Each structure stands twice: as structure tokens, then as C-alpha cells.
Structure 1
């Protein structure tokens, strides 16, 4: 009897030690597993970032307009960017030259200097010369501002589409439009109802 109790005591002690060892192993292994999971997640994130980076796209378009669009595989936007910038550059140069021309003419008239005046503007009053100078100067400034906006939009466009580059667009949304017939139940005096029902299905 005593021997049986002794064996049972040893048996329960061994079970307790084994369970304690399992708990210790679990405690010791949990941080490692957590760290390994974090490392895997970081690796996946880094792989995604290496795959397509919005920062790279923005820097490319900042250094060379249109290069970020090529990086985003949207090369068709490059001619649009350069046509817009080229047109605005042409307007800026044209308006700058016109502003300088009428500015020089106005300064010569203001200082009563006859030499150097343009004979084509001899019939123009001083006020008209100044108004033409002001109009060309204003258009020149607007051309510069518009060119800067196109440059900034080029960078923003590259960054936005780089963010959406890995976005999965699949036809999972469908819409069904079907007519329905609803007989009158609440009031016997009213007629049946006709209409259409719209149903959205997510696959």
C-alpha cells in the first residue's frame, strides 16, 4: 500500500515537472516566434516597397518630368507633360519679349528720349504702351505659374499612381436591374405597384 502511494506520488511529480517544462518551453519560444513573425512581416513590407516605391516615382518626376510616369508604366503621359510644358514655355518667352519691348518703349517716352524708339508705335499713346507692357508682363507671370503647376502635378501624379500601382482592381462588383410586381395587401382599394429593383452582388 505504501509502495503504491509512493509510485503515485512519483507519477504525479513527473507529470507536474513535465507540464512545467512545457510551460517554460512555451514561454521561451513565444518571443522567438513573435520576433520571427515580425521579421517575416518586415521582409514582406520591404519586398513590397522594393517592388514599387512612390518615393522613387516622385523623385524621378522631380528630377526629370515624366520619368516617374515611365516608372509607373504610364509612358503615354510623357508627351502630354512635355507638350503642356513646351506650350507654356513658348508663351512665357513670347510674353517676356513683348513685355521688354513695350517697357523699353515706355521708358524712352517717359525720359523724352527720341533715339531708339520703335517707329511702328509712333501712333500709340503713352497709356496704350504702358497697358500693353502690363498685359504682356501679367501673361508672362501667369505662364510661369502655370508651368510650375504642371511640374508639381507631374510629381503628384507619379506619386499617386505609384501608390495605386499594386492595387488589385477586379470585377467583383456586379449590378442587376430587374422589374418587380408588388400586389396590394394593406389596402384593397389601391392597385398593385410596379417598379424596378437594383441589386449589388459582391463575388
Structure 2
């Protein structure tokens, strides 16, 4: 029963922290009053900005980050995707090299791993090399696809978050404080601070 109370208090404290975490920072340019109703018109919120950032990133990786004016992220995206594409192409080239040698060897022809009639690599080694290179090639392709999708999601989320006030003062900071009065049986308390 005690644990249920603790879980309830923690849940309640985290729930209330998310309620007061942040205010919408849409600036109101015009405010019209009709009778008792206030009508807000205009603002800096652009609902299409996340869609544009995602679209630009889908067309050319890194363009969504440039659209969001996070120029330093674009070379990271290009480097990560370029590295995975390089390893895909390299593993694919090596796979075809070993595959060709394996086919030639199976047909009793001379391959590149046979020097002066001596086989440098055995047939089993050629088979294992093909399997390993095929697996590496597939993992490189999967990594490239995952990085492509992640950079689209990152550009969209970043474009969405740029429209809100994400100042460090709007944070939730749990702090653990040791109780110095109980030296033999130390207790740990939890203090929750709200900064606005």
C-alpha cells in the first residue's frame, strides 16, 4: 500500500510538472473585440513549417536542417549518410568480387585468388566471405534508410519546436538531498523545484 502511495505522488508530481512546463509563444499582432468575444488574428505560428522542413529533408537530406537555420546539422547528416552509403558500395563491390571468384572456381576456371596454380583462398573461405559481405552490405543499407528517416523526423520536430519558447528556465529539475541527521540509517528525500 505504501508503494502505491509513492507511485501516486510521483505520478501526480510529474503530471503537474508537464502542465506548467511551457507556454505557447505565439505573438498576437492584432486583437479585435466583438461584443464580449475576443478574436485573435495573426501570429508567428506557421503550421506548414514542420511540413516544409520534412519535405525539404525528403527531397535532399540536410535541406530541412538548413531550412530550420540549423546549418551545423547539415554536414552531420551528410557525413553520416555518406559514410553508410560508402560502406554499402564498398561491401557490394567486394561481395561481387568474391562471388565472381567463387563462380569461376566452381567451374574449374582460374580466378584472381589463384596465383601460379596455387589457391590462396579455399572454396569455403570464398563462401564465408560472400555471406559476411552480404550481411555487411545489408546492414549498411538498413543504416542508410534509418538515417534518412531520422533526419526527416529531426527536421520536422525541430521546425515544430522552434515555434515555441524552449528556454532553460522552463525546466523540471528533481534533486536528491541526503538527510545528515540519520547517519546510521541514511534516508534520501526528493525535492521538486519549479522554475518559471
TM-score interval for Structure 1 and Structure 2 normalised by the shorter chain: 0.5 to 0.7
The equivalent of 2:10 in structure 1 is none
In the alignment, the residues of structure 2 paired with residue 72 and residue 179 of structure 1 have an alpha-carbon distance, to the nearest angstrom, of 44
Q: Which has the higher contact order (CA 8 A, sep 6+)?
A: 2
Moved more, 99-108 or 66-75: 66-75
Deviating 4+ runs (over 3 angstroms): 172-182, 194-199
Determine whether 1:145 maps to 2:142: yes
* Structure 1 residue runs without a partner (length 5+): 1-32, 183-193
Q: Residues 169, 108 of structure 1: CA spacing in aligned structure 2 closer, same or farther, 3 A cutoff? A: same
Bigger fraction of residues in strand: 2
In the alignment, the residues of structure 2 paired with residue 134 and residue 177 of structure 1 have an alpha-carbon distance, to the nearest angstrom, of 52
**What's the TM-score, normalizing by structure 1?**
0.63
The equivalent of 1:198 in structure 2 is 191
The equivalent of 1:119 in structure 2 is 114
Q: Which structure has the larger Rg over C-alpha atoms?
A: 1
Describe the superposition over 1:4-27 as per-residue Cα deviations: whole angstroms up to 9, x where unpaired.
xxxxxxxxxxxxxxxxxxxxxxxx
CA contact (8 A) 2:113 2:121 kept: no
Q: Residues 153, 181 of structure 1: CA spacing in aligned structure 2 closer, same or farther, 3 A cutoff? A: closer
CA contact (8 A) 2:113 2:120 kept: no
Q: Residues 172, 118 of structure 1: CA spacing in aligned structure 2 closer, same or farther, 3 A cutoff? A: closer
CA contact (8 A) 1:180 1:197 kept: no
**What's the TM-score, normalizing by structure 2?**
0.65
Bigger fraction of residues in helix: 1
Matched length: 153
Q: Residues 181, 140 of structure 1: CA spacing in aligned structure 2 closer, same or farther, 3 A cutoff? A: closer
C-alpha deviation, 1:177, in angstroms: 8.9
The equivalent of 1:166 in structure 2 is 163
Q: How does 1:1-203 map to 2 (within 5 A)?
A: 44=42, 48-49=45-46, 53-114=49-110, 116-119=111-114, 122-170=119-167, 171-172=169-170, 198=191, 200-203=193-196
CA contact (8 A) 1:57 1:71 kept: yes
The equivalent of 1:11 in structure 2 is none
For residue 155 of structure 2, give the secondary structure of its aligned residue in structure 1: helix
